[in-house]
Amino acid sequence: MKKILHADCDCFYAAVEMRDNPALADRPIAVGGRADHRGVIATCNYPARAFGVRSAMPSAQALKLCPELEIIRPDFERYRAVSADIQALFFELTPKVEPLSLDEAYLDVSDVTRFQGSATWMARWLKEQALSRTGITLSVGAAPNKFLAKIASDWDKPDGLRVITPDEADAFIDQLTVNKLHGVGPATAAKLERLGIRTCPELRDVSLARLLENFGKFGQRLYELSRGIDHREVNITRERKSVSVETTFDQDLPDLPACQQAVTALVVKLDERLARHEHPPLNKLFVKVRFNDFSITTLETSGVTPGLEIYQHLLDEAWHRRARPVRLLGVGVRLTPPDDLKQLGLF
């Protein structure tokens, strides 16, 4: 039986700022761009969240919700240094680590013999060591697969620890609404609700044939996840063809200015992911736009360095192909294949 941990730093950027300046701990703070420069919130602490401030929210809107909010400009070099210390801690426990971003990772601890093989004790050790060595709080979920481990890590935040044993999996899933399932965004959740499906028990009552009819290949995934089935391995080595981030919005973005504002947060997140991959060789940059009629357009360019200005230019051109409200935005880079980087021999 697999034992998977999902470790996630609580409000990571804000946590680093509060660690380095304890006076901020009880004040509402956010890390992000300036409101007068159409900035967005990258993350915020829990006092700020109590006012309704959320990541990817325009900074101007965040200040309306919380006038006392202190917005701090991000220091990604500092955040990457802290992340490296936390990632090193993961590798002390097991070589089977799949980093997802600067602040979260999956760990396969199935073969770890330390702590008498107890995933619960391993999770506690990770939390204790992360706090003592870096001053950062981890929330950790332990479960038989990645799907359940990720949900578990978010269950009792902040500073959470939730363990789901194989015997407890069914009862745990029975508590879930369908929007907790991996890959179910607002559009899919709304479609499920129109079919009268809001909870995982309700989803389990639907036949595989009907799910395939309504959701195509994703119907198979819905069928499996509602039963706690997830065969994905913790992926420690893979050849990446691209690095990207995308967001499906709860409410459609009405026009181009709203899209340009939203893309800022995506570019920040993309830069973070590229840093984790130690700036891989880039081939092309691209933007992806899904409009409210579910049509999709992708626009790419080559030979440039990733930056907000070029992504805003690509977005401008891509949006004008349909010029209608947008439900999803994505930005990314396509990577140069490893074989293309090898210099051919002379003979």
**Contact partners, residue 337, CB within 8 Å, separation at least 6:** 241
Phi, psi of 50 (to 5 degrees): -65, -20
* Site of tokens 């700022």: 17
228 in Cβ contact with 145 (< 8 Å)? yes
Token reading at 42 = 């990258």
Catalytic residue ranges: 104
Is 250 annotated to bind ligand?
no
Is 8 annotated to bind ligand?
yes
- Residues making up the binding site for Mg(2+): 8, 103
